[in-house]
A and B are shown apart, each in its own frame.
Chain A
């Protein structure tokens, strides 16, 4: 696979055929009554990976996490962790710890007692417990808060206590259920980097569940996009964004233009697609397609360019500026074509003035390169 998103990854055990997965879900199904929360799912996760399960609510991602923690038992299939089949092992004997979405801090215990709780259950010596508590408190930069009770902490501090508590036992795998869901936007961005750094520092395998694609993209080594109890795609964040394997993934992750059409001609990798939006697309296809085949052409808004004057060449679409949204780093344009179809264009504001002046109802010309989008044959 080519490098995508300007990132070179040196840590990629999933590409190594000889590597042994650390966690394996093998044909796992979880049924609640007649509802398949998780449907015949197989997945391998490697040691030291920061893995994200991404999906809308009800897609089965939390159920998958709870099965790994031991709160739910699979109806079918098995889960293997570090060579050991987890079937029948209760949650309190599994070498995994979980950070809960609500943090689940014990309100009747101080911060240090919360963190010491798991170590006490292990029967660890008192001195050793104190040492370990200090260590993880330092890790999350909360040394001075040891004696506070959870309701004397702010949301961000509670999140870090929860993290410290789940790391104190040095689990083989740390499970994070919507770890940043309860934080406000600013704090969430800071915490994303902290969490990534922490994971890099500890080399512990992290598995995170989230419905927030940005959270998954910024932190995870790999993302599994889930829908209706199944995994749709497992790939790095850049692959999920730049090379989605289906319309579902393309649409779920990020903003996208999807044009449906029929292949009119094929010359090697170069194909011409007649779209239902009323224009032709000349594109390079990474998958083999034949003339007459129905395909989707997936185009991210920031891969398009916008101009006020007509430009020559193929892949130029004319329309009317229908909507403008200014976000700061980018300005988003909705261009309405003559047949009513909308093309979304995001323009990066690389200069303060911007390259052009457009207003509502101006004529605009949208242009894109042959390799800007992705041909999906479904």
Chain B
């Protein structure tokens, strides 16, 4: 039975994609609106992008968010990768099952609870809320995601590769750096990107754990929207969408190129 594009399928497709992309398209279109009123079209203009450049508050928030995302993603990647390796490679220690379960728990924990518990913790240890506390909070939540991504890669990695490295005289440390890490590198990068985007768009946990002077971009946007949406917000969101799109397209292209190369290699191997 062939699956053809029937009328029903066509309608489903149009509805689905409209539902997904119409709001975003509207947001992008209105970022180029001349008018201050978000809902009235008054002609094409890039005035709000210029305005945006002079809006210190938004620029500062964007800068904080970027630094926060870079630092927390990097630290979370290191810690998450270490946890993943420990949990999937050193299998014979007491409490491993419990700890594997505990790595997954934060993934399903409501952010409100995570945020609140971190807030209470920071208050309890008397740590002033600011850039440091929100960074720590983001590290602790995103490292679980990194650990899960890396762990799934490690699970599919042939254990005998590491055995072979040791058999050939590599110490466990040398094995880690020369064999394990180079082979799980794509998963580590994927984990980093996941952590980066999680940090970039987090509103709830940041609201609980940040302090004055360290307002993140999502927080800033949210608070400004409450005072009324200005086309500046549309502009900033459009820029964010552009960045994310470029990232996704780049990742797809790189992946495509790798698949093409792999196909070529396989052909070469078949020819001997």
Contacts and interface: CB of A to CB of B under 8 A. Distances in A.
Interface of A: 69-71, 90-93, 96-98, 100-102, 104-108, 117-118, 121-122, 148-149, 151-154, 157, 165-166, 169
Nearest to A100: B160
B163 A107 contact: no
Contacts, number: 76
Contact of B174 (A108, A121, A151): A121
Given A97-B168, A117-B168, A104 B269 contact: no
B170 interface: yes
B166 A92 contact: yes
B169 interface: yes
Contacts of B171: 92, 121
B269 A91 contact: no
30 contacts: A70-B167, A90-B166, A91-B166, A91-B167, A92-B166, A96-B167, A100-B160, A100-B163, A104-B158, A106-B164, A106-B165, A106-B183, A117-B170, A117-B178, A118-B168, A118-B169, A118-B170, A121-B168, A121-B171, A149-B265, A151-B262, A151-B266, A151-B269, A152-B265, A152-B269, A154-B270, A157-B269, A157-B272, A165-B168, A166-B167
A117 B269 contact: no
A157 B167 CA distance: 21
A157 B178 CA distance: 23
B71 interface: no
B161 interface: yes
Contact of A154 (B161, B164, B269): B269
Contacts of A69: 163, 167
B268 interface: yes
A288 to B, nearest CB: 48
B272 A104 contact: no
Contacts of B228: none
A98 B164 contact: yes
Interface of B: 158, 160-161, 163-171, 174, 178-179, 182-183, 262, 265-266, 268-270, 272
B182 A92 contact: no
Contacts of B179: 106
Give the top 7 A-B pairs by smallest Cβ distance, nearest first: A118-B168, A121-B169, A104-B164, A104-B160, A91-B166, A100-B160, A152-B265
Nearest to A94: B167
A345 B87 CA distance: 56
Contacts of A93: 169
A351 B270 CA distance: 39
A118 B269 CA distance: 25
A156 B224 CA distance: 66
A148 B178 CA distance: 19
B168 A169 contact: yes
B250 to A, nearest CB: 22
A90 B174 CA distance: 14
Nearest to A71: B163
A314 to B, nearest CB: 56
A117 B266 contact: no
B169 A153 contact: no
Contacts of B160: 100-102, 104
Nearest to B264: A152
A151 B265 contact: yes
A107 B268 CA distance: 16
B172 to A, nearest CB: 8
Contacts of A121: 168-171, 174
Given A98-B167, A108-B182, A166-B167, 13 more contacts: A90-B166, A91-B163, A92-B166, A92-B170, A102-B160, A104-B160, A106-B183, A108-B183, A117-B165, A118-B170, A121-B171, A148-B268, A152-B265
A169 B169 contact: yes
A152 B263 CA distance: 10
A98 B200 CA distance: 48
Nearest to B262: A151
